Structure 1
Amino acid sequence: MKMMNVNQTTVYDAIVVGTGITGGWAAKELCENGLKTLVLERGPMVKHVEDYKTMNKDTWDLPFRNKLSEEDQKKYHKQKRVGWAPTDATKHFFVNDLEHPYQETKRFDWIRGYQVGGRSLTWGRQSYRWSDIDFEANLKEDVAVDWPVRYQDIAPWYDKVESYIGVSGEKLGLPHLPDGQFLAPMELNCVEQDLQKILRSTFDDGRLLTIGRVAHITENTIDFEGRGPCQYRNRCWRGCPFGGYFSSNSSTLPAAERTGNMTLRANSIVHEVVYDQTTKHASGVKVIDAATGEKLEFKGKIVFLCASAMASVGVLLQSKSPSFPNGMGNNYDELGRNIMDHHYQLGASAKIDGHLDKYYKGRRPNGFYIPRFANLDQKTKRDGFLRGFGYQGGASRENWGEMVAELGYGAAYKKAMLEPGGWQIGMTGFGEMLPYHDNRVTLSRDKKDQWGLPQLDFNVEFKENELQMREAIKEEAVAMLKAAGFKNVQAYDTETGPGLGIHEMGGARMGWNPRTSVVNKNNQLHDVPNVYVTDGAFMTSASCVNPSLTYMAFTARAANHAAEQFKLGKFA
């Protein structure tokens, strides 16, 4: 991919804001439909392979053995709340919190990556479909507002996305976790297989264990346009030079570029969508050049907001005009509300006796998955909370380091140092958070960033339904590990706030009624039909599965809708 000069007098057919999971898909679909598309990214350029500067480094190649220096810990003081990142090898794909501050009326862990490719370079790659149990839950339980779509509306787009990005997994035939277009599944190891058998034979609520459904190429059965199969290095968050996992940089942005219809501009901070009072449509976006501070305005007939959920909401809140004094699409005070995430960093762990004659080959960039088994029907109904949860986890042998700390010597000690430790297993719960009207993000009244733009201020919390669910997540994790006969089973629950699942969503929810929602069933702003919001901001509820596959499916659907409307002259 290459940067191009952008002329402010040019009127583009479409403008895409953001280059992450959804921005890449919007760019690909719009460009392949023939629309001249300007793609804007607020962070710097990252070229596939060329700019993955730590992709081949080992721990001993890094100055602090992959730990952050004291200085960097200050720079990433909020980003490192997630625990596993940033590291010395990945810090350049996470924002510097001192340079990109935000406010927390209540704690919110906003983990971000500002660069071409966004968080598609560092996402967990777990890829699951929603079902009608998810799309219908709000209506059936009288929670928030109803989704204006159902599974059958999105299923063809799931097919399209999965087939293109490459998702490996196992078909299960579960109505609440629909099967997809899968490549060969990765393998469970011996301990995970043991747990799989125990769950099947011990519990009568249909719970099961499968390998994670993950966006990695595991077989060369089709042409993935220059991407190669996963090499089991498990260095995904550094950028994959083989293109083994899906990212915008390895897949959708190159596809858009091949059409000749994409113009890409990095270091472009979009802070406002411009509204034309005469046409009642958006006419373009206002931009600040992150490197020079220059103020620019680019014109386009369609605008796709794919900047990530909270960032897109922030752009809309700043897009004020006589028609929208409180932000574009916000005449009924719905913008910035109903913020959600998933539970994270709670579950259980254990030790395992035996299997000391077994090991595994490679570094599998995936784990097991236990799909939702609570509140699916009357048999599995739980008291105390609505909705459900699933688990992601894995088993592994501990490393050789445990021997180094022991006071030992002689031949036996040397032999022990050459052997791996015993087996351990852990599982983390991902639970659904309900949409609450008072969980919201607003523009700070007095805090601005280095470009003079208002910071976002989060006022979001888990409520009683979530607190009750968290207890169930821990209890069930312990019960499953104990049923398997594992040793030293311990629950854990790390102090956290919403956001840490890095599945933040809501703020510009989809719905039927313009008075109670921000976008319609096609992801268009109710009041400005040539503005589409297709990142997590449009989510009306959260389900309990990783949301990125759903974002991509909705984005592909919306981009094709926009292209059809454009060709019909609706956005002239």
Structure 2
Amino acid sequence: MNLNIKAEQEHTYDAIVVGSGISGGWAAKELCEKGLKTLVLERGRNVEHIKDYPTATMAPWEFKYRGWHSREMKEKHPIQSRCYAFEEATQHFWVNDVENPYNEIKPFNWLRGYHVGGRSLMWGKQCYRWSDLDFEANAKDGHGVDWPIRYKDVAPWYTYVESFVGISGQAEGLPQLPDGVFLPPMEMNCVEKHVAARIKEKYKDRIMTIGRAAHLTKGLHDRGPCQYRNMCARGCPFTGYFSSNGATLPAAAKTGNMTLRPYSIVLDVIYDEKTQKAKGVRIMDAETKQTMEYFAKIIFLNASTLGTAAILLNSVSSRFPTGLGNDSDQVGRNLMDHHFGVGAGGIMEGFEDKYFFGRRPNGIYIPRFRNTNASTKRDDYVRGFGYQGGASRGRGNGSEGIGIALKESQSEASGEWSMWIGAWGEHLPYEDNTVRLNKDKKDKYGLPTLDIDCSFRDNELAMRKDMLDSAKEMLESAGLKNVGGSDDMPPPGHCIHEMGTARMGRDPKTSVLNGWNQMHAVKNVFITDGACMASSACQNPSITYMALTARATDYAVKELKKQNI
């Protein structure tokens, strides 16, 4: 027998990180900075910061379709093109739906990008800490399983990641929305300030503040500041917002400990029956379709909620016939996403002599005010929601003459101020909201596709009525006229906040991970992307993924040094 010992040595690292998005980038940074030789595997192409943002500085007239969706774009991206951030200028960052199929058992918009940096290049950048209102919710109302952690466990790690990311925002002292480490806040415009003041006067249980966003209002760590162009989804040549490409991956590379391998589709995690640990991963090269194996002492799965679930379900062995670490039968279950697409808008009279400067890539935030205490408890639903939105005023009416006359009409503010607020609501962890492998329907690589069976239920529907009514009531109380509301209710997935599928928990019989994001059954595998979440809260989740990742990597390296894993 010929043993290729050298080849295995060349494919052996201290740690492997699967995925290079928001959580994968943080895992890479932390592991590399702690001295571990780390292999970062990304299934898509490489994207180098700044160099590979081809449309970042293009003007509208430089685009063939002036920013509109062409027929070809819609044919290749029938699902991705539903996203607000998908346009002619950003289409190269979104997957080709025809080449990346999945199966909607119930309607589900799987919005994604396969490239280095993942969705950290296109994300909305809203960053809100969770509180114990969120971490204790499952235990208190009986939905899902109790989180094995509380706010005090994550709070120092929120501080740690915020100090590196750079979060602009305003401290408000709210127990349900803990303050963080903030850069100077972006400024609300005159109408938003007026509405915020009216809400504060009218309601004792709610406020309106500027959004807390991963936009640098002043330079930080040789990045930024934000230039208020509001073209973030193209990639930022000023590094004005946080992305893996602009922040964590360069930090990891700076150590000399990172090896980044794009075009690497992770097929499964290799389980060693003798050691009862994972010894590595098997990949397929996306360009050559050649398979190969890589080995490491620690594996971090950060392939996204659905991507990580697919890898686990495909990682079968005699010990784990239904998927790696799936003793509890919870892998692929409890899929969640925030429900949104409901809110209200109206016209604000006055302020004709006011306008705003720049294109602020951020809006306002109204934190959760339902079911926060006994006085705000509802009888028709559990959990809660928050609002995002903003006020604006147009320029010109687009019909006054041609040439110089038209340009002059567009240079002046005209028309009325308007404002819209939309709600983001919590989705409960239903065990039968699932993702499963479909081995009968394969993709172009010959790999199983995913069956996604996920829906919103009665609790979400009851909450949406309150979301709509409360939005209208607040705007009317603030003095807006002609207030109207709408509820379009896109399907799950559309909010791009997928969570669940490999949840944390206290009991190995009902969860996949422990309080350190460590697999109960396979101690050297950690999951810190959205798959780990035991509930969804109503806040944008990315800053929580980052904090959990930093916390888990710290624990993993300490356990490795103690030879416990």
Partner-residue secondary structure (3-state), 1:507: coil
AA aligned opposite 1:213? R
Aligned-pair distance for 1:197? 0.8
Counterpart of 1:217 in structure 2 is 216
Work out whether residues 209 and 364 of structure 2, in 8 Å CA contact, stay in contact via their aligned partners in 1: yes
Matched, 1:346 2:342: yes
Aligned-pair distance for 1:66? 0.9
Aligned in 2, Cα 1:446/1:58: closer, same or farther, shift over 3 Å? same
Q: Note the alpha carbon deviations across 1:8-50, whole angstroms, 9 max, x for none.
A: 5332110000000000000000011110100000010000000
Counterpart of 2:294 in structure 1 is 298
Counterpart of 1:249 in structure 2 is 245
CA distance in structure 2 between the partners assigned to 1:228 and 1:379 by the alignment: 43
CA distance in structure 2 between the partners assigned to 1:505 and 1:270 by the alignment: 20
Matched, 1:419 2:420: no
Q: Note the alpha carbon deviations across 1:344-375, whole angstroms, 9 max, x for none.
A: 22111112222121111111110000000011
Counterpart of 1:88 in structure 2 is 88
Aligned in 2, Cα 1:8/1:228: closer, same or farther, shift over 3 Å? farther
Counterpart of 1:500 in structure 2 is 494
Aligned-pair distance for 1:415? 6.6
Aligned-pair distance for 1:416? 4.9
Q: Note the alpha carbon deviations across 1:326-349, whole angstroms, 9 max, x for none.
A: 000112311111111111221111
Aligned-pair distance for 1:271? 1.5
Alignment partner for residue 362 of structure 2, among 366, 374, 385? 366
Aligned in 2, Cα 1:177/1:495: closer, same or farther, shift over 3 Å? closer
Aligned-pair distance for 1:399? 3.8
CA distance in structure 1 between the partners assigned to 2:351 and 2:522 by the alignment: 61
Work out whether residues 505 and 513 of structure 2, in 8 Å CA contact, stay in contact via their aligned partners in 1: yes
CA distance in structure 2 between the partners assigned to 1:403 and 1:362 by the alignment: 20
Partner-residue secondary structure (3-state), 2:392: strand
Matched, 1:398 2:394: yes
Q: Note the alpha carbon deviations across 1:210-230, whole angstroms, 9 max, x for none.
A: 00000111124xx51x31211
Mapping of 1:80-159 within 5 angstroms?
80-82=81-83, 84-159=84-159
Counterpart of 1:568 in structure 2 is 562
Q: Note the alpha carbon deviations across 1:84-139, whole angstroms, 9 max, x for none.
A: 13100001111110111111100111110110000000111000100011000111
CA distance in structure 2 between the partners assigned to 1:504 and 1:413 by the alignment: 45
Aligned-pair distance for 1:425? 1.1
Aligned-pair distance for 1:510? 0.2
CA distance in structure 1 between the partners assigned to 2:402 and 2:535 by the alignment: 59
Work out whether residues 318 and 327 of structure 1, in 8 Å CA contact, stay in contact via their aligned partners in 2: yes
Alignment partner for residue 386 of structure 1, among 382, 388, 410? 382
Counterpart of 2:19 in structure 1 is 18
Aligned in 2, Cα 1:416/1:303: closer, same or farther, shift over 3 Å? same
CA distance in structure 2 between the partners assigned to 1:440 and 1:115 by the alignment: 26
CA distance in structure 2 between the partners assigned to 1:189 and 1:46 by the alignment: 35
Aligned-pair distance for 1:150? 0.5
Aligned-pair distance for 1:488? 2.1
Aligned in 2, Cα 1:202/1:566: closer, same or farther, shift over 3 Å? same
Counterpart of 1:475 in structure 2 is 469
CA distance in structure 2 between the partners assigned to 1:130 and 1:153 by the alignment: 11
CA distance in structure 2 between the partners assigned to 1:42 and 1:9 by the alignment: 23
Q: Note the alpha carbon deviations across 1:443-483, whole angstroms, 9 max, x for none.
A: 11411111111111111100000000111111111111111
CA distance in structure 2 between the partners assigned to 1:160 and 1:190 by the alignment: 34
Matched, 1:51 2:44: no
Work out whether residues 395 and 411 of structure 2, in 8 Å CA contact, stay in contact via their aligned partners in 1: no
AA aligned opposite 1:427? I
Matched, 1:182 2:182: yes
Counterpart of 2:28 in structure 1 is 27
Alignment partner for residue 279 of structure 2, among 283, 289, 293? 283
Work out whether residues 345 and 420 of structure 2, in 8 Å CA contact, stay in contact via their aligned partners in 1: yes
AA aligned opposite 2:490? T
Partner-residue secondary structure (3-state), 1:116: coil
CA distance in structure 1 between the partners assigned to 2:403 and 2:166 by the alignment: 51
Aligned in 2, Cα 1:489/1:272: closer, same or farther, shift over 3 Å? same
CA distance in structure 2 between the partners assigned to 1:565 and 1:380 by the alignment: 43
Work out whether residues 305 and 532 of structure 1, in 8 Å CA contact, stay in contact via their aligned partners in 2: yes
Mapping of 1:452-467 within 5 angstroms?
452-467=446-461
Aligned in 2, Cα 1:144/1:439: closer, same or farther, shift over 3 Å? same
Counterpart of 2:3 in structure 1 is none
Matched, 1:61 2:32: no
Aligned-pair distance for 1:556? 0.4
Work out whether residues 79 and 85 of structure 1, in 8 Å CA contact, stay in contact via their aligned partners in 2: no
Aligned in 2, Cα 1:290/1:189: closer, same or farther, shift over 3 Å? same
Aligned in 2, Cα 1:417/1:105: closer, same or farther, shift over 3 Å? same
Q: TM-score, normalised by structure 2?
A: 0.96
Counterpart of 2:236 in structure 1 is 240
AA aligned opposite 2:522? V
Work out whether residues 9 and 298 of structure 1, in 8 Å CA contact, stay in contact via their aligned partners in 2: no
Q: Note the alpha carbon deviations across 1:207-249, whole angstroms, 9 max, x for none.
A: 10000000111124xx51x312111111111111111100001
CA distance in structure 2 between the partners assigned to 1:216 and 1:527 by the alignment: 39
Alignment partner for residue 321 of structure 2, among 302, 320, 325? 325
The number of aligned residues is 558
CA distance in structure 2 between the partners assigned to 1:141 and 1:180 by the alignment: 27
Work out whether residues 340 and 489 of structure 2, in 8 Å CA contact, stay in contact via their aligned partners in 1: no
Counterpart of 1:3 in structure 2 is none
CA distance in structure 2 between the partners assigned to 1:415 and 1:283 by the alignment: 67
Work out whether residues 472 and 485 of structure 2, in 8 Å CA contact, stay in contact via their aligned partners in 1: yes
Alignment gaps of 5+ in structure 1: 1-5
Counterpart of 2:312 in structure 1 is 316
Report the RMSD for the aligned CA atoms in angstroms: 1.7
CA distance in structure 1 between the partners assigned to 2:256 and 2:109 by the alignment: 39
Q: Note the alpha carbon deviations across 1:483-528, whole angstroms, 9 max, x for none.
A: 1221221111224111111100000000011110001101011100
Aligned in 2, Cα 1:320/1:343: closer, same or farther, shift over 3 Å? same
AA aligned opposite 1:543? A
CA distance in structure 1 between the partners assigned to 2:35 and 2:530 by the alignment: 26
Alignment gaps of 5+ in structure 2: 1-5
Partner-residue secondary structure (3-state), 2:500: strand
Q: TM-score, normalised by structure 1?
A: 0.95
AA aligned opposite 1:497? P
Aligned in 2, Cα 1:273/1:482: closer, same or farther, shift over 3 Å? same
Counterpart of 2:505 in structure 1 is 511
CA distance in structure 2 between the partners assigned to 1:18 and 1:103 by the alignment: 22
Alignment partner for residue 517 of structure 2, among 513, 516, 523? 523
CA distance in structure 1 between the partners assigned to 2:543 and 2:7 by the alignment: 34
Partner-residue secondary structure (3-state), 1:311: helix
Aligned-pair distance for 1:569? 2.1
Matched, 1:375 2:371: yes
Aligned-pair distance for 1:412? 9.8
Partner-residue secondary structure (3-state), 1:544: coil
Counterpart of 2:202 in structure 1 is 202
Aligned-pair distance for 1:427? 1.1
Aligned-pair distance for 1:202? 1.2
Work out whether residues 398 and 424 of structure 1, in 8 Å CA contact, stay in contact via their aligned partners in 2: no
Aligned in 2, Cα 1:392/1:279: closer, same or farther, shift over 3 Å? same
Aligned in 2, Cα 1:342/1:25: closer, same or farther, shift over 3 Å? same
Aligned-pair distance for 1:417? 5.0
AA aligned opposite 2:239? G
Work out whether residues 85 and 122 of structure 2, in 8 Å CA contact, stay in contact via their aligned partners in 1: no
Work out whether residues 218 and 230 of structure 1, in 8 Å CA contact, stay in contact via their aligned partners in 2: yes
Partner-residue secondary structure (3-state), 1:257: helix
CA distance in structure 2 between the partners assigned to 1:516 and 1:97 by the alignment: 34
